């Protein structure tokens, strides 16, 4: 029983972490399929062992909430989410339950309307006297967020219709796959990029400035009129929407029974990659609207509809071994070495295992027969072991303790799930570290692309960050490479490298790649330590005393400078003439109310966030923080729904919505 309780605890921890990464950070680390699979594993365990269910379990979560910062809108009819089906068996059970609730014989046919399940954001449109009056998000189902100004920029939403009575139209706001790619490609800072089209659509709809929403090219497909007294069927609703210039999905089918529904599901499954918008399943609705009241609903789901989620294709194979690799930030990634198996037309011999906590939570062991699938139909992942086939002599997995490349002791902070190698000279980290060092947000070496750096590394021209400052002596080697670098381009590159030597100290500190030290923290450090030597000699207490630097960040800085290779790197950079001291800001406006104040930023702007920080730092000698606290003087905001906006409102912190950097 202790093992079961611990497994439930570990699965809950995994799911809670994934939810935070998805909903708060907008940076999901696992696919929807993998989340669903793990959630169902937890549900099954909790059903068998209800004594171990806790109130904070992910299975007990009711749903989202409306942001307190956006104007609230109370829905006349509750906006429900849908229960999920993952198999034909579950779909047929839904059909049986509908017939039973309606008092029909099991052999009778129920007519269904079948629609693609668009992976977007649910929205309600209210028209009064023929004009769009209110547009609101679902929120918690009862209370949503008023986003009318932004929705009016969506070209597929009619601003007026030829209907004088008040009417509510519901649908899904989304980004096409191509528009999603364009948005992410336009965001230079990787940390500000959206994780998937749904997150991008949600973030775009919650902008303070409707002009930004307009640039995102959102689309809305409509599919429901909740007050349906004037309509007999759901298919009639779709016809009405089309007639009144609302955009609907083209592939909406009327099915006479559940057998026809299944055939349409197979159609959608076989063609899901051909749709220009992302779909993750199929929505099945009872077509006769008069049956809706009879069928009723739970507190979360209606009984008259269900969402069939596309299942990933699985394969079974033997786990031959577990390897550990090192990512660019030093994060340890565990990889399964598999007995080659055919999956979705390709032979799979390896799959991701994420991190040690994932392996422990799933109790995956070398020698196990495991199930694998393709997340997003691209990356193979291990679902878990088939315990009934486990060998008696199997040995539980033990995480590695040192870097598999350089042998340095790995770090894992409390409440984190990943292990890290903190050695800056680790070969596996060097290339990505050099790319980071040369990036615009760091030392701003123009013309030094990822491809060029990788080519330099392979040819032993650049093997460390310090080697960048020796490139002027390697002209012939560089010109001889197949990189199309000619005399003019080489000169331009060397000039950019020389120019980088004069960058501000905070850029150098950020460029070093110290874990947890971003550009904001680097600026805060420079306010206290005027040169790199002072920072290297700083005590833990001195670092902890810096505004917005806590125990974790302070310890990370201490650990970084304990490593001899990192100290040697600083020595080499000094030798090459790289600026290692803070510059006096003589251009700051000392009379401005913003002078030396603490700012926080939330939302997306025309300029990249790092560029905004760079301009304001020089203009006002101000500081920046990643979170809103009592010490924050101003919040620069372009996002009503963020937690930062909420906190600023609670603390009565002034909120700036205009471009003070112009």
Report, as residue numbers or ranges, the catalytic residues.
117
Q: Please count the other Cβ atoms lying within 10 Å of the Cβ belonging to residue 13.
A: 15
Phi–psi pair at 108, nearest 5 degrees: -70, 155
Contact 353, 359 (CB under 8 A): yes
DSSP H helices in 439-592: 450-458, 475-479, 487-500, 505-511, 519-528, 532-536, 540-544, 551-562, 564-575
At 487, is the secondary structure helix, strand, or coil? helix
Edge-first strand order for the sheet with 598-602 is 623-624, 598-602, 634-637, 655-656
- 167 forms beta bridges with 127
DSSP H helices in 121-189: 148-151, 177-186
Contact 271, 137 (CB under 8 A): no
In angstroms, the Cα distances linking 158 to 23, 220, 247, 532 are 30, 10, 9, 59
What is the b/e burial string over 206-226, where b = at least 16 CB atoms within 10 angstroms of the residue's CB?
bbbbeebbbbbbbbbbbbbbb
At 420, is the secondary structure helix, strand, or coil? strand
Phi–psi pair at 66, nearest 5 degrees: -75, 140
Q: Please count the other Cβ atoms lying within 10 Å of the Cβ belonging to residue 567.
A: 13
3-state secondary structure 436-483: HHHCCCCCCCCCCCHHHHHHHHHCCCCCCHHHHHHHHHCHHHHHCCCC
Q: Please count the other Cβ atoms lying within 10 Å of the Cβ belonging to residue 614.
A: 21
Q: Which of 121, 40, 42, 54 is nearest to 84 (CA)?
A: 40
Contact 242, 171 (CB under 8 A): no
Edge-first strand order for the sheet with 131-137 is 131-137, 121-128, 167-174, 219-224
**In which residue are the tokens 């950079």 written?**
573
Alpha-carbon torsion (86, 91, 92, 96), positive or negative: positive
At 243, is the secondary structure helix, strand, or coil? helix
* DSSP structural state of residue 335: E
Q: Which residues contact 271 (CB under 8 A, 6 or more apart)?
A: none
**Token digits of residue 169:** 């139209």
Distance (Å, whole) CA 245 – CA 254:
21
Residue 337, classified by CB atoms within 10 Å of its CB into exposed (0-12), middle (13-18) or buried (19+), is middle
**In which residue are the tokens 């990643």 written?**
626
Q: Please count the other Cβ atoms lying within 10 Å of the Cβ belonging to residue 89.
A: 8
């Amino acid at each position: 029983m202790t093992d079961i309780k611990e497994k439930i605890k570990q699965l809950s921890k995994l799911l809670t972490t994934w939810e935070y990464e998805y909903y708060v950070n907008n940076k999901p680390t696992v696919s929807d399929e993998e989340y669903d699979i793990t959630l169902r594993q937890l549900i099954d365990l909790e059903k068998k062992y209800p004594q171990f269910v806790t109130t904070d379990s992910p299975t007990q979560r009711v749903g989202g909430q409306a942001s307190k910062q956006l104007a609230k809108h109370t829905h006349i009819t509750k906006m429900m989410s849908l229960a999920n089906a993952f198999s034909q068996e579950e779909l047929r059970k839904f059909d049986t339950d509908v017939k039973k609730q309606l008092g029909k014989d099991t052999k009778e046919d129920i007519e269904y309307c079948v629609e693609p399940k668009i992976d977007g954001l649910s929205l309600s449109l209210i028209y009064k006297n023929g004009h769009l009056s209110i547009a609101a998000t679902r929120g918690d189902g009862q209370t949503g967020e008023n986003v009318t100004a932004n929705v009016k920029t969506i070209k597929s939403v009619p601003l007026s219709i030829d209907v004088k009575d008040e009417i509510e139209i519901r649908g899904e706001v989304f980004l096409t796959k191509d528009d999603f790619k364009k948005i992410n490609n336009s965001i230079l800072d990787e940390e500000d990029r959206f994780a998937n089209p749904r997150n991008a659509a949600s973030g775009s709809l919650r902008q303070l400035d409707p002009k930004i929403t307009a640039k995102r090219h959102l689309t809305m497909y409509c599919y429901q009129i909740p007050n349906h007294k004037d309509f007999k069927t759901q298919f009639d609703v779709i016809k009405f929407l089309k007639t009144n210039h609302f955009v609907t999905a083209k592939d909406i089918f009327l099915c006479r029974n559940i057998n026809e529904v299944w055939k349409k599901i197979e159609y959608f499954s076989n063609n899901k990659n051909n749709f220009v918008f992302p779909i993750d399943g199929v929505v099945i609705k009872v077509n006769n609207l008069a049956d809706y009241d009879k069928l009723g609903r739970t507190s979360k789901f209606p009984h008259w509809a269900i969402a069939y989620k596309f299942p990933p294709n699985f394969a079974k194979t033997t786990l031959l071994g577990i390897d550990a690799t090192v990512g660019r930030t030093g994060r340890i990634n565990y990889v399964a070495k598999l007995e080659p198996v055919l999956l979705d037309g390709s032979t799979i011999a390896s799959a991701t295992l994420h991190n040690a906590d994932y392996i422990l939570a799933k109790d995956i062991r070398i020698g196990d027969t495991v199930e694998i699938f393709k997340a997003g139909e691209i990356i193979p992942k291990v679902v878990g072991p088939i315990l009934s086939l486990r060998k008696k002599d199997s040995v539980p997995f033990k995480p590695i303790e040192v870097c598999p490349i350089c042998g340095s002791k790995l770090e894992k902070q409390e409440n984190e799930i990943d292990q890290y190698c903190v050695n800056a000279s680790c070969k596996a980290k060097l290339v990505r570290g050099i790319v980071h060092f040369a990036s615009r947000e760091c030392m701003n070496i123009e013309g030094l692309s990822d491809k060029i750096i990788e080519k330099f590394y392979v040819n032993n021209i650049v093997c460390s960050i310090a080697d960048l400052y020796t490139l002027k002596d390697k002209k012939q080697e560089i010109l001889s490479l197949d990189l199309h670098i000619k005399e003019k381009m080489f000169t331009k590159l060397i000039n950019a490298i020389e120019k980088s030597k004069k960058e501000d100290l905070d850029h150098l500190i950020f460029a070093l790649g110290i874990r947890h030290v971003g550009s904001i923290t680097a600026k805060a450090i420079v306010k206290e330590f005027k040169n790199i030597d002072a920072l290297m000699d700083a005590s833990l207490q001195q670092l902890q005393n810096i505004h917005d630097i806590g125990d974790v960040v302070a310890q990370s800085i201490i650990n970084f400078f304990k490593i001899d290779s990192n100290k040697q790197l600083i020595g080499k950079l000094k030798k090459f003439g790289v600026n290692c001291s803070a510059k006096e800001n003589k251009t700051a406006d000392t009379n401005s109310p913003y002078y030396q104040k603490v700012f926080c930023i939330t939302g997306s702007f025309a300029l990249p966030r790092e560029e905004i920080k760079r301009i304001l730092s020089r203009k006002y000698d101000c500081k920046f923080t990643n979170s809103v606290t009592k010490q924050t003087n101003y919040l620069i905001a372009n996002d009503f729904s963020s937690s930062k906006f909420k906190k600023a409102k609670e603390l009565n912190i002034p909120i700036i919505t205009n471009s003070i950097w112009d």
